[in-house]
Amino acid sequence: MHIAIPDVFRAMNTISLYGEVFRPKCFYSGLLDLGHGRASDCISCGQCESVCPQHLPIIELLKKGSATLDA
């Protein structure tokens, strides 16, 4: 779905660490302008989770990211 997963997580980490939402949302908006998919575009296929070297629950994290960044 062309979601820039690491960048979505970077934006969410910035919000979590600094409590600031404006700049991470602008960063995310820039990703969309470059043609990347929204976090909400995830179809829960699990391909990303099967190759994640950190074994992260990416599908769940993208849902949380979508709730914050796509709102």
How many of the other CB atoms lie within 10 Å of CB of 2?
A: 10
Instruction: Please give the pLDDT value at position 53.
Output: 96
pLDDT at residue 38 in the model: 98
What is the model's pLDDT at position 68? 96
Q: Which two tokens stand for residue 35?
A: 């043609």
CA distance 31 to 15: 16
pTM of the model: 0.93
- What is the rounded CA–CA span in Å between residue 7 and residue 51? 17
- For the chain, what are the domain ranges? 5-69
Those residues whose C-beta lies under 8 Å from the C-beta of residue 45, and which sit 6 or more positions away, are none
Contact 39, 9 (CB under 8 A): no
pLDDT, tens only, 12-66: 999 999 999 999 999 999 999 999 999 999 999 999 999 999 999 999 999 999 9
